[in-house]
């Protein structure tokens, strides 16, 4: 049982009146009456929250996995066993990773009513999160006291790389799923020459694909049918080096890259390509050969969930040696990294050029949104002009990095972290449409 703020305020008023009775005896009598009435009212009011019933039941319902960086719903099933309407305050002991000390949900329940109260959590790091107790405070009729019901329901949930994109793609219709997820429709240029079958010619077919030998044998026009090239290898390479620990909106660049890797792997497998994974830091930490079997996505997801790093300088020499030895087929190599200066890019450029001689290399690095906003801000003081010049030089250097990569035939994406997933998938679709891969 807990006394409420209303009770404390009324008690202070009654005590104040008694204190004023030291000067004027009339207030002493009024204060005594007020204090007695408050105590009697509080005792009567206390009976409204202590009947011979359980009072309130509460159960937490959530999914086994949370999606990193996305909205994840947590449901609380409340049941009112009182024979009257009640007002409740709910405190759920959410995981300590959120550092939220002011969690509170207020609601009301009618007599014998069951209700679902929900709220959303946005995790910013992968790992295991632990929910503790649920506390439900039932207010008395006059709100002078509260009764607490505690439910010891420890629940552990794993936060995986963002799979909400995959879930949305599965739920949306085939016609609209690309558009709804922000993926552009790209007109396919040229045509694939991967033979599929011979079929009867129908008006409207490309006459250039008529198979004259088959037509002569069947004594009717037959045409060749080609299909889009499939079984191409798509490798996501995650640089877990020093620069990837920078955070935007509370989430590190490493986790943004992991989310994009999972989405692109799913998209590649949906296009019947083979998706693989490489993570590199001071050495090669993970290598998953490209594949498209039924367990490939689960294997990639579990591996990404367990990825750890100490954020030290990455060894691109080891990355080149691994790809040279293990990746024999021409592949799309998507490298998620961060280049802050042209010097940092030129340090790794020899390895990127060697990779680009045998594969299609796509380098993905990030814009600094905060720097861009500072560069666009109108200067007021003399110091602001210097800061703005520095920020603009950083922005210009990022554009120079893109230009230098293009000079050596290396594809690149310079993107904001929050748009990473959509931009990478759009680039993948564009490369396939132009028959680059």
Global pTM value: 0.78
Q: Which stretches of 203-359 are assigned E, i.e. beta strand? A: 222-227, 233-239, 247-248, 251-252, 274-280, 284-291, 331-336
Which residue shows structure tokens 């290598």?
287
Burial 125-158 (b: 16+ CB within 10 A, else e): ebeebebeebebbbbbbbebbbbebeeeeeeebe
**Helix axis angle, 420-433 to 253-270, nearest 10°:** 40
pLDDT digits (tens, 9 = 90+) for 335-393: 999 988 888 899 999 999 999 999 999 999 998 776 666 666 777 776 777 777 777 77
Higher confidence at residue 205 or residue 425?
A: 425
Tokens 């993107």 found at: 415
- Reduced to 3 states, what is the DSSP secondary structure of residue 120? strand
Backbone dihedral angles phi then psi of residue 193, each to the nearest 5 degrees: -110, 25
Report the b/e string of 182-208 with b at 16+ CB within 10 A. ebeeeeeeeeeeeeeebeebeeeeeee
Q: What is the pLDDT of residue 436?
A: 82
pLDDT at 229 over 80: no
pLDDT number for residue 83: 85
Please tell me the predicted confidence (pLDDT) of residue 7. Answer: 87
Evaluate if residue 317 carries a pLDDT over 70: yes
What is the side-by-side strand order in the sheet with 56-61?
A: 56-61, 72-80, 114-121
Say whether 431 sits in a helix, a strand or coil. Answer: helix
342-356 and 316-326 are packed helices; what angle lies between their axes, rounded to 10 degrees? 10
**H or E element, residue 403:** helix 382-407
- pLDDT class of 220 with cuts at 50, 70, 90: confident
Q: Tell me what pLDDT residue 173 has.
A: 38
State the residue for tokens 């200067």.
379
Q: What does the pLDDT read at residue 250?
A: 87
| Nearest to 268, CA basis, from 334, 198, 187, 338 | 334
Predicted local distance difference test score (pLDDT) of residue 370 = 67
pLDDT tens digits, 237-265: 999 998 899 888 889 999 999 999 999 99
Residue owning tokens 């060894």: 315
Given this chain, do its domains 56-160 and 164-169+176-185+229-433 carry the same CATH topology?
no
Distance, CA of 113 to CA of 259 (rounded, Å): 41
pLDDT digits (tens, 9 = 90+) for 103-147: 999 999 998 899 999 999 999 999 999 999 999 999 988 888 899
Q: Judge contact between 415 and 395, C-beta under 8 A.
A: no
- Binning pLDDT at 50, 70 and 90, where does residue 218 land? confident
Alpha carbon separation from 277 to 130, 245, 361 (Å, rounded): 29, 20, 14
Element (H or E) spanning 383, and its range? helix 382-407
| Contact in structure between 210 and 379 (CB atoms under 8 Å) | no
**Averaged confidence pLDDT in the chain:** 86
Tokens representing 327?
Answer: 């990746």
pLDDT at res. 194? 57
Among 361, 352, 190, 365, which Cα is nearest to 260's? 365
Higher per-residue confidence, 30 vs 381: 30
State residue 413's pLDDT score: 94
Strand 127-131 to strand 155-160: parallel, antiparallel, or no bridges (unpaired)?
A: antiparallel
Model confidence at 195: pLDDT above 80 = no
pLDDT in tens, 153-185: 899 999 999 887 777 765 443 444 444 445 555
> 164-169+176-185+229-433 belongs to which homologous superfamily?
von Willebrand factor, type A domain (3.40.50.410)
58: tokens are: 């509460």
> Looking at domain 56-160, which CATH architecture does it have?
Sandwich (2.60)
The residues spanned by each domain of the chain are: 2-49, 56-160, 164-169+176-185+229-433, 195-227
Residues of the chain above pLDDT 70, percent: 89
Say what the alpha-carbon torsion angle 345, 346, 352, 357 is, to the nearest 10 degrees: 140
- Residue 82 · residue 111 · CB < 8 Å: yes
The conformational region for residue 346 under phi > 0 = left, psi -120 to 50 = alpha, else beta, is: alpha
Q: What is the pLDDT of residue 121?
A: 94
Report the pLDDT value the prediction gives residue 284, as an integer from 0 to 100. 94
Q: Which helix (H) or strand (E) is 256 found in, with range?
A: helix 253-270
Confidence of residue 190 (pLDDT cuts 50, 70, 90): very low
- In Å, how far are 232, 266, 288, 336 from 298, measured between CA atoms? 20, 10, 12, 21
CA–CA separation, 44 and 62 (whole Å): 39
pLDDT of residue 399: 87
């Amino acid at each position: 049982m807990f006394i409420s703020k209303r009770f404390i305020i009324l008690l202070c008023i009654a005590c104040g009146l008694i204190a004023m009775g030291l000067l004027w005896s009339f207030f002493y009598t009024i204060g005594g009456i007020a204090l007695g009435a408050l105590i009697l009212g509080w005792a009567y009011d206390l009976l409204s929250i202590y009947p011979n019933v359980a009072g309130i039941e509460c159960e937490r319902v959530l999914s086994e996995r949370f999606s990193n960086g996305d909205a994840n719903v947590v449901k609380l099933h409340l049941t009112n066993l009182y024979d009257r309407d009640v007002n409740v305050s709910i405190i759920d002991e959410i995981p300590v990773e959120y550092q939220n000390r002011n969690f509170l949900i207020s609601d009301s329940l009618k007599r014998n009513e069951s209700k679902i109260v929900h709220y959303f959590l946005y995790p910013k790091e992968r790992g295991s999160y632990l929910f503790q107790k649920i506390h439900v405070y039932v207010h008395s009729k006059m709100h002078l006291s509260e009764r607490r019901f505690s439910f010891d329901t420890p629940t552990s949930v794993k936060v995986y790389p963002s799979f909400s994109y995959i879930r949305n793609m599965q739920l949306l219709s085939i016609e609209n799923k690309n558009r709804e997820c922000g993926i552009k429709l790209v007109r396919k240029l040229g045509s694939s020459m991967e033979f599929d079958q011979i079929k009867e010619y129908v008006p409207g077919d490309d006459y250039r694909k008529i198979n004259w030998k088959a037509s002569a044998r069947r004594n009717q026009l037959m045409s060749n049918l080609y299909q889009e090239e499939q079984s191409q290898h798509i490798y996501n390479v995650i640089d877990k080096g020093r620069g990837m620990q920078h955070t935007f909106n509370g989430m590190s660049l490493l986790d943004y890259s992991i989310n994009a890797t999972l989405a692109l792997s799913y998209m590649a497998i949906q296009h019947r390509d083979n998706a693989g994974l490489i993570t590199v830091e001071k050495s090669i930490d993970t290598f998953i050969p490209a594949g498209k079997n039924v367990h490939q996505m689960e294997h990639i997801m579990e591996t990404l969930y367990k990825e750890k790093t100490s954020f030290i300088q990455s060894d691109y020499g080891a990355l080149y040696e691994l790809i040279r030895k293990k990746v024999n087929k021409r592949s799309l190599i998507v490298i998620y990294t961060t280049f802050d200066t042209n010097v940092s890019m030129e340090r790794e450029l020899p390895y990127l050029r060697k990779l680009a001689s045998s594969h299609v290399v796509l380098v993905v690095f990030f814009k600094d949104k905060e720097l861009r906003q500072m560069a666009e801000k109108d200067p007021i003081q003399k110091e602001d002009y210097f800061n703005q010049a520095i920020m603009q030089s950083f922005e210009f250097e990022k554009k120079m990095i893109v230009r230098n990569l293009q000079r050596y035939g290396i594809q690149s994406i310079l993107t904001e972290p929050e748009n990473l997933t959509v931009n990478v998938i759009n680039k993948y679709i564009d490369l396939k449409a132009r028959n680059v891969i």
